[in-house]
Amino acid sequence: MRKKSKRGNTRKFRLRSVFSRRRSDDETEWFRFDDESSPDRIVTPRRRIRRRLLAARLAAIACLSVSLPVAGKWAYDRVFFENEEFVLQTLEIQTDGSLSLERLAEIANVAPGMNLLDLDLGVVQEQISRLPQVERVTVTRELPDRLQILVRERMPVAWLSSPPMGIRPWDMERGFLVDEGGHLFRCLDLNEGMKSLPVVESFRLPEPVEGTRIASDGVRAALKLIVESDRRFLGTGLAVREVRLREEWAMDCDYSNDLKATYGLYDFLRGLDDLALILDRMASAGRVVTSVNLAAEKNIPITFASIDPPMPSPGDPDAGGAPSAADSADGDGELSMQEKHLRSILKGG
């Protein structure tokens, strides 16, 4: 812009009256000859260098943010997944049942030579747990080269039998084993131990499906009866042989000594208590019980085994003679006392 002079200012004030209609802010507009940029818009070489350095830094940060994860993933794979020290060398599988170790390894899809860190332990556990015979699985990885699989199989309590449905015991194709909780599974090894298991027979039964829990209150009660009865009487040689569900309210139980007992479906624990009392009293009296109806709470019907009279010896003077009245009276009196004592016990008196 041109420097103002005093002469020019004098001329301007003289002609002010002529241009009185002009705005006051237009007084100095005629001194502007060019429209140069303001000083803050001037880009110096130093500012250009700073901008280039900032752009280079941003580009470097972007490259590092992309390359560092890729490099870390590559290093992690090289150190762990491609390291020969973490190759599976020892595969230990333990089970307490009849499942073969080869089948368990095949189902788990593991074998020596695989990378131990590449195995998903959750998937291995889930695949083995799908077997109907398996109750629980534990998979443990021990670095650098060891994998341990512990399998707990279901403990069978009885065979399931249903003649109307064609379900037969001791049949590996159509038969079912049942554990204490009522889970159904097939028999894989029909050995002597499996053949000696008791049988639960039911004529009204939902369609059984392997690997599921049976939907029958009667069968579940029969399984609990077998477990509790064996806990109380198996040490004395009294084992359950078969439980039949013929009625909706009762269970018929056959024992190994040919004893037949009837239990209530929902109060069999009380029936087991009564049976223990009856067997103890009859053993001390020398009597053998052949059948008992424990579904009744009082006046329990009992059947005793017949006792054959002893054969007289040839030198006995009373051989072939009729028993005396005193002996008959003593015998009748002893029998009546035993019966009264038993009824007293069963009636709670």
pLDDT of residue 95: 94
Architecture of domain 156-310+324-347: 3-Layer(aba) Sandwich (3.40)
Average pLDDT of 131-135? 95
Q: What is the pLDDT of residue 3?
A: 53
The token duo for 93 is 């599988």
Q: Where are the domains of the chain?
A: 85-153, 156-310+324-347
Of these ranges, 106-115, 152-161, 319-328, the one predicted with the greatest mean pLDDT is 152-161
Q: Is the pLDDT of residue 329 over 50?
A: no
For residue 14, is it left (φ>0), alpha (ψ between -120 and 50) or beta?
alpha
- Between 71 and 272, the more confident residue is 272
Contact 147/89 with Cβ under 8 angstroms?
no
> Per residue in 307-323, is it b (16+ CB within 10 Å) or e — as a string?
eeeeeeeeeeeeeeeee
User: What is the domain class of 85-153 according to CATH?
Assistant: alpha beta
pLDDT score of 140 more than 70: yes
Model confidence at 311, pLDDT cuts 50, 70, 90, reads: low
Mean pLDDT (whole number) for 81-96: 82
Higher pLDDT: 66 or 77? It is 66
Q: pLDDT band at residue 61, thresholds of 50, 70 and 90?
A: confident
Per-residue pLDDT at 7 exceeds 80: no
54-68, 139-153, 302-316, 333-347: least confidently modelled range:
333-347
Which pLDDT belongs to residue 70? 66
Give the residue, 296 or 320, on which the prediction is more confident.
Answer: 296
* pLDDT number for residue 339: 61
- Per-residue pLDDT band at 284 (split at 50, 70, 90): confident
Q: Place 269 in a pLDDT band, splitting at 50, 70 and 90.
A: very high
Burial (CB < 10 A; 0-12, 13-18, 19+), residue 220, is middle
pLDDT grade for 139, boundaries at 50, 70 and 90: very high
pLDDT at position 64 is: 74
pLDDT of residue 251: 96
For residue 58, what pLDDT band results from cuts at 50, 70 and 90? confident
**What is the predicted pLDDT for the residue at 46?**
80
pLDDT tens-digit map of 210-243: 999 999 999 999 999 999 999 999 999 999 999 9
pLDDT above 80 (res 199): yes
Q: Output b/e per residue, 250-285; b: 16+ Cβ within 10 A.
A: bbbbbbeeebebbbbbeebeebbebbeebbebbeeb
Write down the pLDDT at residue 47: 80
Q: Is 127 or 49 the better-scoring residue by pLDDT?
A: 127
Quick one: how far is CA 205 from the chain centroid? 25
303 or 2, greater pLDDT: 303
At 144 the pLDDT is 85
DSSP string, 105-134: HHHHT--TTSBSTT--HHHHHHHHHTSTTE
If we measure between CA atoms, which residue out of 303, 304, 296 comes closest to residue 347? 296
pLDDT value at residue 128:
95
